[in-house]
Amino acid sequence: MDERPLDLALLRTFSPLDGLKKENLHALARKTQIRELDSGRLLFKEGDTDQRSYFLVSGTVELRADDRVVATVRAGTPEARTALAPGLPRRYSARAVGDLRYVMFDSDQLDVLLTWDQTGQYEVAELRRDGLDTSGDWMTTLLQTKAFHRIPPANIQAIFMRMQRVNYRAGDVVIKQGTEGDYFYVVVAGKCVVTRETPLNKEGIRLAELGPGDSFGEEALIAEAKRNATVIMSSDGTVMRLGKHDFQTLLNEPLLQWVDYAKAKKIVEDGGKWLDVRLPSEFQNFRIEGAINIPLYFIRLKLNTLDKNTPYVVCCDTGRRSSAGAYILSERGYDAYVLQGGLAATEAVKSRIG
């Protein structure tokens, strides 16, 4: 695999990459590398449903269906300007004829970037007021998360337009545990540390370090609860913040997937799992059979124990905590649903807990 940064001129030879604004193309190039494939090996198989777009950099590919060659694509030709055999499931298998080099992108991420670029009214430069130079990277990081794939393009545009820039010095407190939630934050420059105070540790347990493109502050806004952690700048930096009302209407509501008990039960029967985000004491008192218990305040730390290929129906007593939990999962690429009304409002669930 070639470890050198990709040349923007190379990416512009492909369509629709040539339609991306410079800032987004640059950010995409930094996250992509040229890959290599030996002669005779398959790039993808007929019937595959992977959400990936492949572009030839050098070499030749045979497109085959039912073990028969239906087309040959050579790098540098007009046929190679677009992604190889688009459309899912794949209609053809692609086999390397000689050694080849290629680049690969997540199709959904690419489509989100293209959609946002083509709204036609918003420029990255508008956020660079007062000398802020982000090169668009933090915005591209957000746009490439699975969360933004579910948000309408008009909402994405409004989110960035309504964000406010705030500068901080190292040691400044951005949010304080126990205070009311009023903003959703995205780190633009610098780093910050997330800590949580406990009865046994007044100094606070270190939970995470956040950098450009990372976000925080959503739990208190969704659950309408007080802040459950403190965020302190560990270096000079800049954050963009979005007010509570704008967050609820533009980002939170489009992202959450609410389901009633019947739909939730079907999801679980088809291979999904119940995820209960209440406290262990609540969970022990009554619960849905087979449910996993990860308290909301631990969910960020336990994400690596969950499977991104498994749908999760998140539940709590009322739906408030579970909506915050589902948001965190969805934001990080998990397929998460919220049980409408929570356990307390679902008679069908009550009959099965104990």
The sign one gets for the Cα dihedral 119, 125, 127, 129 is negative
- Contact between residue 232 and residue 174 where contact means Cβ atoms under 8 Å apart: yes
Nearest to 114 by CA among 156, 75, 54, 160: 156
Q: Is 316 a catalytic residue?
A: yes
Cβ neighbours of 314 (radius 10 Å): 33
Q: Give how far Cα 155 sits from Cα of 108, 152, 175, 213, 222, Å.
A: 17, 5, 25, 18, 18
Q: Give how far Cα 222 sits from Cα of 180, 244, 320, 345, Å.
A: 12, 9, 7, 19
E strand or H helix at 136 = none
Q: Which of 28, 83, 139, 316 is catalytic?
A: 316
Cβ neighbours of 234 (radius 10 Å): 15
3-state DSSP: the chain helix, strand, coil percent, rounded to 5?
35, 30, 35
Q: Give the residue numbers annotated as catalytic, written as ranges.
A: 316
